Amino acid sequence: MTTISVGRRAGALTWLLRIAGAVLLAAMSWIHLDLWQDGYRTIDVIGPAFLLNAVAGFGLAALLLVTPGPLVGWVAALGALTAAGTLAGLLLSTTVGLFGFTESTAAALWWESFWVETAAVVVLAVLAVLARRRRT
């Protein structure tokens, strides 16, 4: 296999991961915006956090698609950390409570949120590592 074909395959994989990561971040954002509109906005601390999560996720999704190659790893890492923090908040709110709020796995979009955030962490972490390796 030639160096050119290896480079093309790595470039194609990077773009596939960028698109998948952007879709997952946008899905995470949509879930939080939808829940915010459905009533979570009235919950102290949680409501503003959901709205901030939606804005940050949509922004990171867009940034992931337009960022020049050398900076993709940084954006992917930031996206992975955002998704991991969101997932941690979901799990904390379901187990011990978060800011006085306790969630249930029976809540609307709980499982969708769990799987989207988990997938986002994995995809974006892989992209961050792959982008870092391509730079060196």
State the Cα–Cα distance between residues 96 and 102, nearest whole angstrom.
7
Nearest to 32 by CA among 58, 9, 65, 6: 58
In the chain, DSSP finds a helix count (H) and a strand count (E) of 4, 0
Q: Across-strand partners of 98? A: 101
Q: pLDDT for 7-41, tens place per residue?
A: 677 788 999 999 999 999 999 999 999 999 999 99
112 within some domain: yes
Print the domain residue range for 127. Answer: 7-135
2 within some domain: no
Number of domains in the chain: 1
61 within some domain: yes
Q: What are phi and psi of 56, to 5 degrees?
A: -65, -45
Q: pLDDT for 57-85, tens place per residue?
A: 999 999 999 999 899 999 999 999 999 99
